Structure 1
Amino acid sequence: MAAENILTIDNGTQSTRALLFDVKGNLLGKERVVYEPYFSDAPGLAEQHVHVFWDALCQACQGLFAQQIVPKESIAAVALTTQRATMINVDQSGEALRPAIIWLDQRRTEGLPPVGGLWGLAFKLAGASQTVAYLQAEAEANWLRTQQPEIWKKTHKYLLLSGYLTYRLCGRFVDSVGCQVGYIPFDYKTQTWAKKNDWRWKALPMNPAVLPELVPPGSQLGEITAATAEVTGIPAGLPLIAAAADKACEVIGAGCLEPNIGCLSYGTTATINTTQKRYIEPIPLIPPYPSAVPDAYSLELQIYRGYWMVSWFKREFGMREQHVAQERGIEPEELFDELVHAVPSGSQGLVLQPYWSPGLRHPGPEAKGAIIGFGDVHTRAHLYRAIIEGLAYALREGAEKMAKRTGVPITELRVAGGGSQSKAAMQITADIFGLPTARPHIYEASGLGAALDAAVGVGLHPDFTTAITEMTHLGDTFEPDPKNHEIYDQLYRKVYKKMFNRLRPLYKEIREMKNL
């Protein structure tokens, strides 16, 4: 039997999925294991016991194989994609020394000495000192080094979650270039560990030996060990092919290989990405991340707490819809879409700026969320629609910033993530951008992106262009309504784009007030 199927393991913030794909990008089977995203021993901390991730991976694979969808002999390779920026310290035997620090963690290390010397002078002249200081304070490694020195001293390898799971799968301390997203001394331009005299080693002091070997996406990380085969059911000896972090995999899984195609992700963090062959910083001093395609970059702008805001609304204001949905035996999203349709485009002048959680340089650390335009006509339905519209406004602004930086305007959109399942959100996105907006043909876009890497890596497809043509397809496509676009365009240009600069002084005042 020809081995033409791919096993993908997709580790997310709230669950791990084991997925089977064929060479046409069809999802043959799926098993999902859910877990709590994190536990917190103090305000702002987010950690998880490392065994939770490994146990979920084993259970997901065992559950998938128990379905007996295809013979194991038909599987050609395994690929892994994981949540980004979750860090793990391990000893020489690969055992975790402490719980993983999850990407949602908010701990900071204040008072670190700034990067000095010529680098420090260069940053001062470039106006980048605050950016570097922010990186130092946010870096988990600096917190561990200063607050838990005994753990840092025992650390044999300092790994992203992808590197840890790769070690458990194939017994090697190796990771994909495409997974390197975090506060680590990684040179995003060369896509290698930073050179000896690079400023990153001063901002993030560590022994280079604690970092894993890196290989590009599509290359082999190792082979599934006999011990792994016993607890997962994955056949021993199968090649483990390097993929990338979940967001990068989602981009190519949605078919966004060309720079004119924008990939929106409506997840906990809402993002817009494009794939570029050139190193271009989407915002000065903020690097593009590695793509799931070798020697390419994924330009990204983020709206922190993006579609988390939708979950917040449902929790705080949507109990009625959730109860009715349960009674009717339908998904609550159907009723929330009805809320959207109850309100005209533009929410009758209610405009929301979705900066519930600020970024470093987009729009800035002082940013706050805002809603303006309230009147006596407005209801909770208006607020719900304004949330979705505000996220689309922010992502349109990100698309325009990218186009200005790259010289390539975005002419098509693909939307992935949980929010893409809402037809109302898809249509609002198309109307605000004024562009055709499509879903990928399957929801599991990040898993499909990892399967693309594996398919090219083992020669099932000769190159990424062919693999994307063969394995990614358009699902539902939403065309913009010209009348709605005109309404949104006016609100976007005349109101939304002016909100931040007008409100920024007030945001700064709030930030400087104590006990707020």
Structure 2
Amino acid sequence: MNDKYIIGVDGGSQSTKIVIYDLKGNIVSEGRQSLQPTNSPEPGIVEHPDDDLWESLVKASQEAMASFPGKKEEIIGMGLCTIRFCRCLLKEDGRLASPVMSWMDERVSKPYEHTHSEVAYVTTSSGYITHRLTDQFNDTAANYQGMWPINTDTWDWSEKDRVFDSYNIPRDMLFTLQHPGTVLGHVTKEAAEATGVPADIPVVATANDKAVEALGAGMLAEDTALVSLGTYIAGMVHGHVNPKNTTHFWTNFAAIPNEYLHESNGIRRGMWTVSWFKELFGEELTEKAEELNISPEEILNKEASETVPTGSDGLMTVLDWLSPADEPFKKGMMIGFDGRHTRAHMYHSILEAIALTMKTNVDVMCKELDRELKKIVITGGGSNGDLMMQIFANVFGVPATRNVVNGSASLGSAISAAVALDVYSTYEEAIKQMVEVRDIFSPEQDKHVFYNRLNREVYQQITAHTDGILKKAYNLFHEDVY
């Protein structure tokens, strides 16, 4: 098995990544294709245009295979992970009947509406991509959170007719559910020709993207939390039970069969806000980065690290760049400007806001679960910056670790496939062999004490004072006649 490889698929909100791993978790080759901007033809509607989820996978796969140094026959399988909370409406042949609904689309939070006569199946993004790859109508049970008639205790469709009626989805419009770590089907000749991956290799079920990311980060210990720095930023801890009616967290399926992932409240458009800020400076920042042969993020990190103190000289950011459906008046804001503040302060303040918000969210979750954290693992592109990592360690007051593979959903996909294909007998063994810690950032105690006071005495109180005026502004700007 020394010269065997596994394809890990990570279909995210902003791009599709295809990574080919050896059996020790080392990256052998990879491909990445950015998704097109989502379409919002009217308020509340957010769609992935054309056939973007599939076409991005095709292009990313072609790129990964083009640089793959081994032989095709040495690739033994593929683990498939895609965006959660999407809804895909398919024709009888499994092709799209309409654009894929994004997780930001209000329709995915409501019962299905039968508005397309040619729709034969209602499924997730993983169900759709599984069919495109294998021609099978199978899907992982662990990507069905939200408005689906699923029993989260049994990991199968409900046995009660009234549940199907409440979601307005007949049983015959749903795919067959499989547990993570099982084979969904095999790559068809048509899919192989499109993507360049070998035909007939098994496609293995994983879970929803956050759960697969947690698996790829090696997170199993109950005293460890994962903070996933993605478009949506989430805090998670591993669990063995499925509690109901919780207050400060919700329970998601894990990428390990019959295990769960407890997930805190998160930040909508989390790292998207960092990208938004970077793009505000456009050509100037890009040109400077090209001159120095570094990325724009490295410039911002360097400026903020060298010139901005802890607390950003009083500049604070509230990360409501995408308001929740039940509080549409909420808006993102920066408060506390004075003449000292530069773009480096603004950037530093955004990073601090991410860490402070997630500290509050994770704290209340762990209190409800009666857990005490001893470590946090940070994943996603945002963890590449040492400044972000140190801020998280200082805010949380525990070591913050960064793994060698920090975009860990693709590695989690590969781990799922490795267990399914008997490369490793358990998930624990696969994690031990395939996940490697790269860096550990220890908290600076004086800064941790400061952040605790800032968070408790000031930051957590901001929206209590600003929500009232934002409600008034929302009502003003949403009147029919101005």
Both proteins in one fold, TM over 0.5: yes
For residues 141 and 503 of structure 1, the distance between their equivalents in structure 2, rounded to whole angstroms, comes to 36
- The one-letter code sitting in structure 1 at the alignment partner of 2:458 is V
1:430 aligned residue:
393
Question: Which residue of the partner structure matches residue 69 of structure 2?
Answer: 69
**Distance of 1:407 and 1:207 partners within structure 2:** 40
Give CA deviations for 1:359-390 in whole Å, capped at 9, x if unaligned: 468xx665443433333433332222111111
Q: Which residue of 2 aligns with 1:51?
A: 51
- Distance change in 2, residues 1:285/1:174 (3 Å): farther
State the match for 1:126 in structure 2. Answer: none
2:438 corresponds to 1:467: no
Of 313, 316, 319, the match for 1:351: 316
Give the whole-Å Cα distance in 1 for the aligned partners of 2:111 and 2:289.
42
1:394 to 345, 354, 357: 357
* Structure-2 separation of matches of 1:296 and 1:507: 41
What is the Cα deviation at residue 322 of structure 1?
2.6
Deviates more, 1:407-416 or 1:201-210: 201-210
Aligned residue in 2 for 1:195? 159
Matched residue, 1:32 = 32
What one-letter code is carried by the residue in structure 2 that aligns with 1:62?
A: Q
How far off its partner does 1:511 sit?
4.5
Distance 1:281 1:256, change over 3 A: farther
1:222-371 equivalent positions in 2, closer than 5 A? 222-280=185-243, 283-284=246-247, 287-300=250-263, 301-317=265-281, 320-341=284-305, 342-359=307-324, 367-371=330-334
Q: Counterpart amino acid of 1:490? A: R
Q: How does 1:478-489 map to 2 (within 5 A)?
A: 478-489=441-452
Amino acid at match of 1:208: R
Equivalents in 2 of 1:352, 1:67: separation in Å?
Answer: 42
Query: Given residue 69 of structure 2, which amino acid in structure 1 is its aligned partner?
Result: I
> CA offsets, 1:325-351, max 9 Å, x none?
122222111110123121100112222
1:460-512 deviations in Å (ceiling 9; x for gaps): 11111111111111112111111211221111121122333344444444454
Q: Which residue of 2 aligns with 1:219?
A: 182
CA–CA distance in structure 1, aligned partners of residues 150 and 77 of structure 2: 28
RMSD: 2.5
The gaps in structure 1 that reach 5 residues or longer are 109-134
Q: Which residue of 1 aligns with 2:104?
A: 104
Question: How far apart are the structure 1 equivalents of 2:90 and 2:470?
Answer: 41
Distance in 1, Cα, partners of 2:400 & 2:282: 27
Q: Which amino acid aligns with 1:65?
A: M
Task: Give the direction of change, closer, same or farther, for the CA distance of 1:391–1:64 in structure 2 (3 Å limit).
Answer: closer
Question: Match of 1:129?
Answer: none
CA–CA distance in structure 1, aligned partners of residues 184 and 298 of structure 2: 43
Tell whether the 8 Å contact from 1:434 to 1:485 is kept in structure 2 after alignment: yes
Check conservation: 2:37, 2:48, Cα contact below 8 A.
Answer: yes
Q: Which amino acid aligns with 2:255?
A: A
Residues 182-235 of structure 1, C-alpha deviations (whole Å, 9 max, x = no match) = 43223334432233155x535421212111111110111122223323333333
How far residue 454 of structure 1 moved from its aligned partner, in angstroms, is: 0.6
CA distance in 2, matches of 1:356, 1:64: 34
Give the match's secondary structure for 1:398. helix
- Please name the residue that 1:419 is paired with: 382
Residues 207-265 of structure 1: CA distance to partner in whole angstroms, max 9, x if unpaired? 12111111110111122223323333333332211112222111111111122211111
Task: Please name the residue that 1:141 is paired with.
Answer: 112
SS of 2:51's equivalent in the other structure is: helix
Q: Which amino acid aligns with 1:396?
A: K
| Distance change (3 Å), C-alpha of 1:372 and 1:229 | closer
Q: Matched residues, percent identical?
A: 31
* Contact 1:282 1:405 (C-alpha < 8 Å) held by counterparts: no
Report if the CA contact (8 A) 1:282-1:288 is conserved. Answer: no
Q: Which 10-residue stretch deviates more, 265-274 or 453-462?
A: 265-274
Over 6 Å off, 4+ runs: none
